[in-house]
Amino acid sequence: MQPSWRSGCPVPLEDLRYVRVGHWGFDGRVHRGEVVIHADWATGITAVFADLFEARFPIEQMVLIDEFDGDDELSMAANNTSAFNCRFVAATTTWSEHAYGRAIDINPVQNPYLRGSIVQPPAGTEYLDRSLTEAAMLHDGDAVVSAFDGIGWSWGGGWANSQDYQHFSATGR
């Protein structure tokens, strides 16, 4: 869990759970993915990924953020689906929902973050046209958004001041 967790993180290590799930890859094959999530949400997240598996929703890769030295930008650029990472919201000193283990980002390239002219990751620019229907993209009411909605999590694709198409969280932030 290093460097994703360290002393001073807002959630103690014992409150986090390592979860492995099956998922369909971009290659059409079954893969094992891994995330770390807050213990309160481990069962719900397992159910969400079971729904995504049944829907054959493709995920390019799903490895711990530690594989990217805790660097969210590197993880996004690699199109990595990830959850826990003890980090601040970009350009602030406010803890991200990821730092509490109650947020997940899915296929960041196909589902970029957009605020003004900022697109993260930059490779996501070609996916800003949300009328596209590529299988890895998220859309309001689709199987992925519905699965997270089923456990009470909110999607960042509907935010008013920015769109975080990759982001789901327990708090709606």
- Write the pLDDT tens digit of every residue in 109-149: 999 999 999 999 999 999 999 999 999 999 999 999 999 99
**Domain contains 28:** yes
- Neighbouring CB atoms inside 10 A of 54's CB total 11
Query: Is the pTM here over 0.85, yes or no?
Result: yes
Render pLDDT for 45-89 as a digit per residue (tens, 0 to 9). 999 999 999 999 999 999 999 999 999 999 999 999 999 999 999
- For the chain, the domain total comes to 1
**Domain contains 114:** yes
Can you give the residue range of the structural domain that contains 118? Answer: 14-84+102-169
Quote the CA–CA distance of 105 and 113 in Å, as a whole number: 10
Which residue's entry shows tokens 């980002």?
A: 105
**Domain contains 4:** no
**Domain contains 5:** no
**Domain contains 3:** no
**Domain contains 40:** yes
